[in-house]
Amino acid sequence: MSALKEQVVKMVSSVEDEHLLELIKADIEYFSDKDIDIIDDLYYADKEELLNLASEPDEKDTISEDEFKEATAKWRTK
């Protein structure tokens, strides 16, 4: 057994809080399942929105430095 695994087992063994143990168990089960995707539990509309946002071009909502300076010039003073 690796040193890290021994350390984690020791830490878990010392936990007395049942709720914390349930959380640890749920995390281990979740992250041990290689077929699970983090977005699986989202509602369909939320998943669709997230996938659409992820597929947008990186430059979609960006402006040049000159455009930024022009747009914020009224707020900057010298």
Q: Above 90 in pLDDT, residue 61?
A: no
The structural domain count of the chain equals: 1
Helix, strand and coil percent figures for the chain, each rounded to 5: 60, 0, 40
What mean pLDDT value characterizes the chain? 89
Q: Above 90 in pLDDT, residue 3?
A: yes
pTM of the model: 0.44
More confident residue, 53 or 40: 53
Q: Name the helix (H) or strand (E) containing 70.
A: helix 65-72
Domain that holds residue 8: 3-75
Q: What are 28-50's pLDDT values in tens digits?
A: 888 887 787 878 888 999 999 99
